[in-house]
Structure 1
Amino acid sequence: MKIHGNNRLNGINPYQKMNPPAMEKSKKATGGAKDEIQISTEALEMLNHSKTDDAARKARIQDLKTQVQEGTYRVDSQKLAEKLYEELKGR
């Protein structure tokens, strides 16, 4: 039996990279779609409301920090008891 260099399987390289034109086609097929979101008017109102509340909240927190540092902060025991009662009652 004679073996010649006409073995066609030697020409196939399993580690060869994919053809660039084939890769271009696959990119075009999947790359065209883009994600999109829409925010409702209610969500925008909530966002704007939270921004305005955030400024007031920061001012209140700063005021409380100052009172604590100066030693002038006093806890209203009646309000504290009411809030604790509401919280525990809800459980």
Structure 2
Amino acid sequence: MKINEPGRLSSIQAYRAGLQAKEAKAAAGKGAQKDNVVISAEAKELLEAQRVGGTERAERVEALKQSVQAGTYHISAERLAEKLLPYLK
């Protein structure tokens, strides 16, 4: 009766080595691919509008801050009520 067959063990080791080599090759092939990003024309326009409008908005915010700190900023009660009413309904 044979308990261990030396030939069988070497066959299994050769199979495992071949399998590992195949997996490594597949992983290397996947790593070579790169992601691509395509930005639409609409997105480019929005980005440009944000860049242009950003400085104007910053200037407006700064002017509002100064008028609030100076106490010269006044809010129309009617306009405020018109804006709040939709949230209360």
* Residues 23-68 of structure 1, C-alpha deviations (whole Å, 9 max, x = no match): 8634422211110110110111111112222211111110011011
In structure 2, the partner of 1:12 is none
Task: After TM superposition, give the deviation of residue 88 of structure 1 in Å.
Answer: 2.1
What amino acid does structure 1 have at the position aligned with 2:66? T
Aligned-CA RMSD value: 3.1
Give the structure with the larger helix fraction: 2
**Residues paired across the two proteins, number:** 79
In structure 2, the partner of 1:14 is none
Find the aligned partners of 2:55 and 2:42 in 1 and give their Cα distance.
Answer: 20
Q: Any stretches of 5+ residues in structure 2 without a counterpart?
A: 1-5, 10-16
In structure 2, the partner of 1:62 is 62
What is the TM-score normalised by the length of structure 1?
Answer: 0.63
Q: Determine if the alignment matches structure 1 residue 42 to structure 2 residue 42.
A: yes
Once the two structures are superposed, the pairs formed by residues 3-82 of structure 1 within 5 Å of their partners are 22=21, 25-82=25-82
SS in 2 for 1:72: coil
What amino acid does structure 2 have at the position aligned with 1:42? E
In structure 1, the partner of 2:13 is none
SS in 2 for 1:66: helix
